Structure 1
């Protein structure tokens, strides 16, 4: 087996370091929100010097954008893996519900960070562009699944409206998870049941029986 050359090894080392720093940034954002983050905070969380963070990202804004990009890519990879593991539309939708409501990429820590970035989209064009692109890609995956169910169970509402409603429910449940009972404790089992009840109103054959595979 041919060993990678020095240039390749160096590039891989830089990529690993940047990944560790963006993950440290995500942890700090979850704790302090975007306004409270400093490069020094991220350096402490990552266990490295301030100069290393500054070398890789130069400014706080660049580090925060890299953290958002890391979240987006992690989430996109997870939804492709989860839904692609199933053949039929109902199972794919079940997988997306389970992904969005209580999985390892949409736990309380991650959602706290997503919410922090959401709050800044009206003031930050880069954040707004990331969310807009992610939403378009998500709807492009969600609508065909709803359309596939509609082929056998024609709903009263438009497929696009149903898919848009489900996406909005996900967003609302994410926000609610940050306030919940006043302590920020999300009831993901109940959240998943809400989504299945919504889909069951349109597609009773596929979602009429209340189940929760993660309960």
Structure 2
């Protein structure tokens, strides 16, 4: 899922003027007061250049700087003494765009602080020092941004889940309880579950690729639970149930309770939900209960 953020470069600095060559244009503008994402703006013909994702060529034409190339003003600088033209200086790279993880972490932080309505391309761009157009270049749509943010968040949860479930020194019942606690939201407006619900809601209009990626997230949770239940059954710690069927039913129960917690339904706080799930597991799965 990598996002290939390329570095951006400044326009090359002009070489020192030789005797007889033209100096800077009179009245050339200095740096603007606008926020910049790295490096100085290119300037030409006395006008200050925008500081977004494109540098300015001579004559005012803009050119993307993401491919590492910077526009040269009217080709090589001419000499007035009849000698060969000076070769243009190599372009210098501007500060690179923020890593993908920084962008996705900023998106999740915005959801946590201001909710989904507070997440806009323009606002996220300001947070990470990119233009909204630059973000759209990489993510194409807000739906794609949301799905990638969810995938990033799920990757972190998956690593935590894997570490918990691989503790074979712990009884299966203890690891199952840890799985449930990781699954259920922390409380109303939990950012991960808020994002999950939004992606689910948009999935009815999503294409096959997006649906497959959502299914992959669901599948990871399901496979881990099936493997844990199968281990418990084989070790005699759990009742002899069909691991796949039981996992599907338990996750449906967890999903229903989790939605109630995430939206703040009265009487279904996290502590109450965890207590009900523990009771259900004791009645239907744990051996000797």
Decide: shared fold, TM above 0.5: yes
Q: TM-score, normalised by structure 1?
A: 0.72
Deviations 1:60-97 (A, max 9, x none): 34433321221221221121122223433222212111
Counterparts of 1:49 and 1:150 in 2: how far apart (Å)?
54
Aligned pair 1:109/2:174, yes or no? no
Q: Superposed, which structure 2 residues align to 1:71-150 within 5 Å? A: 71-87=153-169, 88-102=171-185, 108-125=190-207, 126-150=209-233
Partner of 1:212: none
Structure number with greater Rg is 2
How many residues align structurally? 192
Query: Does the 8 A contact of 2:107 with 2:149 survive in 1?
Result: yes
Partner of 1:191: 273
After alignment, is 17-26 or 108-117 more displaced?
17-26
Counterparts of 1:143 and 1:118 in 2: how far apart (Å)?
23
Q: TM-score, normalised by structure 2?
A: 0.55
Which ranges in structure 2 are unaligned for 5 or more consecutive residues?
A: 1-6, 8-92
RMSD of Structure 2 on Structure 1 (CA): 3.3
Counterparts of 1:178 and 1:154 in 2: how far apart (Å)?
30
Q: 1:40 offset after TM fit, Å? A: 0.3
Q: 1:154 offset after TM fit, Å? A: 6.5
Which ranges in structure 1 are unaligned for 5 or more consecutive residues?
A: 1-6, 209-215
Query: Does the 8 A contact of 2:172 with 2:237 survive in 1?
Result: no
SS at match of 1:181: coil
Q: 1:103 offset after TM fit, Å? A: 5.7
Partner of 2:124: 42
- Higher share of residues assigned helix: 1
